[in-house]
Structure 1
Amino acid sequence: MGRKLVVEVCSGHNLMPKDGQGSCSAFCYVDFDGQRRRTKVKSKDLSPVWNERFEFQISDPANMGMEVLEVSVYCEKSGRGKDSFLGRVKLPGSSFVRLGEEAIVSYPLEKRNIFSHVRGELRMKIWYYDEVPQSKANKEEKKAEAAATGIASEKKPEAVKSTTAQKEEKKQESSSYSPPTVVHPGEYVLRDTAPMLASITGEKVTAYDLVEKMKFLYCRVVKARALAAKDANGSSDPFVKLKIGEGRPAETKVIPKTLNPEWNQTFAFNHDKIQGPVLEITVWDKDTASRDDFLGSVTFELSEVPTRVPPDSPLAPSWYRLEEKKGEIKGETRVKGEIMVAVWWGTQADEAFTEAWHFDSGGQHSHTKSKVYLSPKLWYLRVTVIEAQDLVAPNKNRYPEVSVKVQLGIQAMKTKVSPTRNTSPNWPNDDLLFVAAEPFEEPLSLTVEDRLGPSKDDVLGFVRIPLNTIERRADDRLVPSRWYNLEKNGEKQFRGRIHLRLCFDGGYHVMDESTNHISDMRPTAKQLWKSPLGVLEVGIISGQNFLPMKTKDARGTTDAYCVAKYGPKWIRTRTIVDNFNPKWNEQYTWEVYDPCTVLTVGVFDNCHLLNNLAEKAAGSKDVRIGKVRIRLSTLESDRVYTHSYPLLMLQPSGVKKMGEIELAVRFSCTSFLHVMQLYFKPPLPKMHYRHPLRVTHLENLRLAAITIVCSRLARSEPPLRNEVVRYMLDIDSNLFSMRRSKVNYYRIMGVFSGVLAIVKWFDDICKWTNPVTTVLVHILFLILVWYPELILPTLFLYMFLIGAWHYRFRARAPSSMDAKLSQAVEVDPDELDEEFDTIPTSKSPDMVRARYERLRIVASRIQTVLGDLAAQGERFHALLSWRDPRATAIFITFCLIAAIVLYVTPFQVVAVLVGIYVLRHPRFRNHMPPVPLNFFRRLPSLADRIL
């Protein structure tokens, strides 16, 4: 009869921070009788919860009391450093209880040696049970049941070399516990990878050193001449098929009604997916009514195809005579003419790579090609309406209420009603701002209106102004104003005139990204740009374990591509069709003007490769797979970072890992001194500080800029669609969400955690929790009192030492999306449903009412906290305002006495007495609040005056 020991590691509490950021990523080793188990890593949590259960085989139940169970807690290092020891628990076997008597017990963590610095507790539940021997019949029945359910039993090894291995094997065979399949936050962190890159291996290359080298067979089909005529009109509709082995062929476009077609198309075949020794190029005549007619073929042995390495590629095309099919009897098929092609082996560094039709990208669909885009150049258009004259009002018996409506595209704004009620109104200091994009397409329209009533206006005149006639400025100089004649109903009849000051403000940076992760902060005016300070290189290597995003042919599939944005430059990789582990291996470069900027990389599923016209007409959208942001200032110069980043998506069911993307990133700066100087300069252009824009106004302008960028990029070929651009620019980042509110609350608590830690440390000092530390603080306090000139040097030296100590805990990898920080790991389903609700809401009135009540409860708590903070400040004001005459009299009397005492008593004496009193031993303390705090709490606030 065997015996099993079960150890359930429940949670930890108040562990020692070891990552240099006030936290730790803890995991446990559980060792018993030569057997070892390990828990999962809990990322950045000082009180982690594991709830993981492990079973151990007790080799000798009679001597179980002599065995020792040891559980060690470690902090995982993100780089290649050694894991940090956090403490351990050692329990003798005599303390184990039987099944049914177990309970969760908190064990204080112990030191490994006298130099270890540990704290906290580990909660565990430990018990043992005896296995009941089973009969041979029961074993046979169990095997039959396992076979019926499709479970394959493991075979025992024939020979086991050590006792430890025997115990491990017995555990694997007889363990009846299987931990639940749960996605833990520790699985959301990025992983260090080691791809075979030329920049790491030392291989000499001129480009593409941040991606793995891929071999491609390139075939450039240029043109043909003197083809055979197959149609009744004496011509043909030729196209070319390219085929290797038994795979599906690639086809060129059809050139109608010609015997001398020109295609000028290049095709690329991935070497890893080539299944055959011969490339067959065939020319066909396209027939819609019957089978296509054969016009000739050319074959190339792949072993004889030359290899061209950049910059020698591409290979010059040559003429090849078309031949009949193999096995055809000569004379049966009329073949004539020649075709100009070029075939060579190359890599993705070949200049033909970008324009080639990639066979692993779904053939020649335009939506599968890689592409580089540029955002349109955006300007702030400032419209200052000064005055109007000689307006023609239809009603002479009333004073007109005149306002001006200004419209640019879909942007529309309106001035206030003029305070001057006549036919010559004016609008003092009324500036309107719009976003315009080059090249300018739409004119600026101004309409002068007379307000007759609510939602009822009478048009007095309008004018359209071409944008290319408006002056541009790069600073805050005053541009000259102009008079414009007004028209009405398309007639040239004079209806008055309007005085305007128009200009494009090039001194601002037009925001189209969130300020939290902006990638470019240069002004619009190019003459204000500085020279670039570095280069950002990104290698998009591959994706791993993508989830199926759609169904095709009754099976799940994913057609993934990547989009990266930095500054005005967008890139889109080619689409890898029907692959859950795509390999792109494409490298791109950006100029860097400020290191405190963010690169954004998004992954999408291409939903525009559908063959069903009905699905195309339904307006399918590319589906989001995930996004990665990398802040350049966190990268070391000239270092290659290769990591696999988790792609996390928040869905109505909760956070979900959609896969991983492997990136190689390198930031190279031209001048280290230049980069350091930027840290002392304002991030935004000067106009943002000389004439700042309101925050609400900036957000409205940002939404307009995003709309313009979406419309312009959607017109590219292949288009970068609206859903992609909006996701990359985080258009929904400012919408209300209960989850985001919690995130910001915990972020604020994290900011003040350092202050709270100092307060707690000082409280421990005052309570003499550690007498040695308290005595040292007394000595330091007395030194600083008698030598006050050492206070500031000591403070700065202390901060220097803290920073130097934290250097060993610095992050070794770029940061990625944090599911725990986003409060997405354990989020209420109703809160997620509310976050994904449309605007206006699509939910039932009862659900909206319940959410409104919940929002009122949360808002009441916030309201109470704000009221308490206001009350504390009002009590400070009440000290000298005589709102409470007795309290103010007491306070000013105390101030007078304190002034006299401090005048006649040396400062060092007063400081020592106050310090010794504050740091007094707990024996001389009572548990009542101190006198100053009692006095402050009795001061009045304005809360009693609120209705």
Structure 2
Amino acid sequence: MNPVWNEDLMFVAAEPFEDPLILSVEDRVGSNKDETIGKVVIPLNTVEKRADDRAIRPRWCNIEKSMSAAMDEDQKKKYKFASRLHVCVCLDGGYHVLDESTHYSSDLRPTAKQLWKPSIGVLELGILNANGLHPMKTREGKGTSDTYCVAKYGHKWVRTRTIIDSLSPRYNEQYTWEVFDPATVLTVGVFDSCHVGSNGHKDMKIGKVRIRISTLETGRVYTHTYPLLVLHPSGVKKMGELHLAIRFSSTSFTHMMYLYSRPLLPKMHYVRPLSVMQQDMLRHQAVNIVAARLSRSEPPLKKEVVEYMSDVDSHLWSMRRSKANFFRLMTVFSGLIAVGKWFGEVCKWRNPITTVLVHVLFTMLVYPPHMNTRISYAEAVHPDELDEEFDTFPTTRSPDIVRMRYDRLRSVAGKIQTVVGDVATQGERFQALLSWRDPRATTIFLLFCLLVAIVLYVTPFQVFALLAGFYVMRHPRIRHKTPAAPINFFRRLPSRTDSML
């Protein structure tokens, strides 16, 4: 009669905080039957706000019999005795609401405005025109399109006017954004409006372009024609080209250089990190809130447009994405593949002296192998997984079991696909450092290498080893929960994820 849960639940809340938090206490009276004991309604404008990880005082809330009683303040005061729920509620402003993938996020600031740092520059975008667009509908016996562009960066979404009946529309519209972090991405999408001469209810996607701010030189005007590529069930189609003009102007060069040593996400993401499941759930909630709000704007943006611009399905499993990540990984590790070819020549005794030396080294390193059930994960395996492993090929199990195992396989494969993509991203960041894709980052790296070379030349190796050992073994009290500056610098380097469909 006095249950204890001790569970942390997290939701995305958007200002103005009009919708209340509703807690329902239910009693399980049967296998598939629950009875509501009561409800607690907490208005969000009464909830304490915090921007750090300080403790929040819990409070007791009366459990009312119905929603009307829970919403009526006079009725709450009328009854002196009631069952109560002990809750600890707060609005966390120290986190960044992840409404898009971190690989091509356009904003990395925390929710609380008092934690925002000054801007480092201004991003100017000119949406000029599109050429050679693929017709999305038929009018008077000929193919045509009624297109508009959507650009997203940070909290600001913009939409051009709709150009009617044109496969080479001219928009000639200009927009500006404040830039707070160079490791962000501008996304521009082209869509066909369903409100003009179409029987459908959804705006069709024509393609989108991603531009990473850190790859733009300060003050330079880029006027490029970007291909619009869309993936269809029949394959990849080039839907046309989009002509853009873009310029990034820096207002604080020193602050921008300093950001390369800072963590990518706000401090709360490292002090109290969110799990992968929480991130996926919160991202889904955030996209739905943004879509609902933009659908009420003028002119409105449909939900399918917001989901396409936010890459809402980027974490789902796809054989194509898995192959793409695999080939990215092969490109990154092309040097190791070359080493493998060299080892193949060693095995063929092309150079006898080298082969003999490799045999000596191999003899020194090899140990007798043995089976390990813990490494094989054979001690805690689920019976259904064993049944699947010993199933014949083709399967002899029922369609329901095969469907369940296929869905489970898709879930696991999606996680593996994400891990492979992340590994490839790390290698591409290192390659970007050598190819000057982010000129500011490469300049910082070269200056750091020069400084390290001078310090190592002047400092005796014993002193350097002593200082390095003391630093690695330093007391936990003088360790920071946020990542070190070199790690932050590496995570800000661009990768090729911006170019993936």
Query: Match of 2:23?
Result: 446
- How many angstroms apart in 1 are the aligned matches of 2:107 and 2:183? 9
Give the letter for the 1:738 counterpart. Answer: M
Using the alignment, how far apart are the partners of 1:513 and 1:768 within structure 2? Answer: 53
* Alpha-carbon separation, structure 1, partners of 2:30 and 2:331: 53
* Runs (5+) with no aligned partner, structure 1: 1-421, 775-844, 867-947
Return the alpha-carbon distance in structure 2 between the equivalents of residues 757 and 678 of structure 1: 36
Partners of 1:534 and 1:761 lie apart in 2 by 49
Output the CA distance in 2 between the equivalents of 1:667 and 1:682: 22
The equivalent of 1:537 in structure 2 is: 124
Q: Which residue of 2 aligns with 1:560?
A: 147
2:224 and 2:249 map into 1 onto residues whose CA distance is 18
2:36 corresponds to 1:459: yes
**Structure 2 residue 178 is the aligned partner of structure 1 residue 600:** no
Q: Which residue of 1 aligns with 2:49?
A: 472
Q: Deviations over 1:333-376 (max 9, x none)?
A: xxxxxxxxxxxxxxxxxxxxxxxxxxxxxxxxxxxxxxxxxxxx
Report the Cα offset of residue 734 of structure 1: 1.6
Change (3 A) 1:677 1:555: same
**1:730 Cα deviation after fit:** 0.8
Q: What does residue range 712-723 of structure 1 map to in structure 2 within 5 Å? A: 712-723=293-304
Q: Paired residue for 1:517, among 104, 108, 122?
A: 104
Q: How far did residue 641 of structure 1 move?
A: 1.3
Question: What's 1:691 paired with?
Answer: 272
Evaluate the alpha carbon distance shift between residue 448 and residue 694 of structure 1 in structure 2; reply closer, same or farther with a 3 A threshold: same
- For residues 547-569 of structure 1, the C-alpha deviation after alignment (integer angstroms, 9 at most, x for no partner) is 11012233211111110101001
Tell me by how many angstroms 1:752 deviates. Answer: 2.0
TM-fit CA distance, 1:759: 4.8
Tell me the CA shift for residue 480 of structure 1: 1.6
What one-letter code is carried by the residue in structure 2 that aligns with 1:444? L
User: What is the letter of the counterpart of residue 20 of structure 2?
Assistant: P
CA distance in 2, matches of 1:528, 1:761: 53
Length-normalised TM-score, structure 1: 0.36
User: Aligned runs of 1:151-550 on 2, under 5 Å?
Assistant: 422=1, 424-428=2-6, 430-489=7-66, 490-491=68-69, 492=75, 494-550=81-137
Larger RCO, structure (CA 8 Å, separation 6 or more): 2
Q: Which of residues 240, 243, 251 in structure 2 aligns to 1:659?
A: 240
Equivalent-residue separation in structure 2 for 1:667 and 1:761 (angstroms): 46
Amino acid at match of 1:630: I
Q: CA deviation at 1:574?
A: 1.1
- Counterpart-to-counterpart distance in 1, 2:322 and 2:32: 37
Whichever residue aligns with residue 483 of structure 1, its letter is W
SS of the residue corresponding to residue 227 of structure 2 reads strand
Q: Which amino acid aligns with 1:435?
A: V
Residue 622 of structure 1 deviates from its aligned partner by 0.8
Aligned-pair Cα RMSD in Å: 2.9
**Whole-Å Cα distance in 1 between the matches of residues 148 and 299 of structure 2?**
13
3-state DSSP of counterpart to 2:88: strand
Alpha-carbon contact 1:474-1:506 (below 8 Å) kept: yes
2: CA distance, partners of 1:657 / 1:714: 28
From 293, 310, 314, the equivalent of 1:733 is 314
Name the aligned partner's letter for residue 511 of structure 1: L
More strand by share: 1
Which residue identity lines up with residue 485 of structure 1 in the other structure? N
Match status 1:751 vs 2:335: no
Q: Deviations 1:625-672 (Å, cap 9, x if unpaired)? A: 001111111111111111111111111111111000011111111233
Distance 1:769 1:536, change over 3 A: farther
Q: 2:250 corresponds to which residue? A: 669
The share of aligned pairs that are identical, in percent, is: 63
Residue 176 of structure 2 is aligned to residue 589 of structure 1: yes
CA distance in 2, matches of 1:758, 1:572: 51
Contact 1:460 1:495 in 2 (8 A): no
- Counterpart of 2:215? 634
CA contact (8 A) 1:488 1:495 kept: no
| C-alpha separation in 2, matches of 1:515 and 1:454 | 41
SS at structure 2 position matched to 1:587: strand
Distance 2:299 2:133 in 1: 24
Distance 1:539 1:483, change over 3 A: same
Deviation at 1:609, TM superposition (A): 2.4
Paired residue secondary structure (2:108): coil
Indicate whether 1:622 and 2:203 are aligned: yes
Q: TM-score, normalised by structure 2?
A: 0.66
- Deviation (angstroms), 1:694: 0.2
Letter in 2 for 1:545: G
Mapping for residues 687-836 of structure 1, pairs under 5 Å: 687-760=268-341
Residue 686 of structure 1: CA displacement? Answer: 0.3
Over 3 Å counting, the alpha-carbon distance change for 1:452 and 1:581 in structure 2 is same
Distance in 1 (alpha carbons) for counterparts of 2:238 and 2:247:
26
Given that residues 461 and 495 in structure 1 are in contact (C-alpha distance below 8 angstroms), is that contact kept between their aligned partners in structure 2?
no
- Residues 80-99 of structure 1 deviation map (CA, whole Å, 9 limit, x = unaligned): xxxxxxxxxxxxxxxxxxxx
Query: 144, 150, 164: which is aligned to 1:577?
Result: 164
Question: Within 1, Cα distance between the matches of 2:338 and 2:179?
Answer: 39
- Amino acid paired to 2:3: P
Structure with higher Rg: it is 1
User: Given residue 427 of structure 1, which amino acid in structure 2 is its aligned partner?
Assistant: W
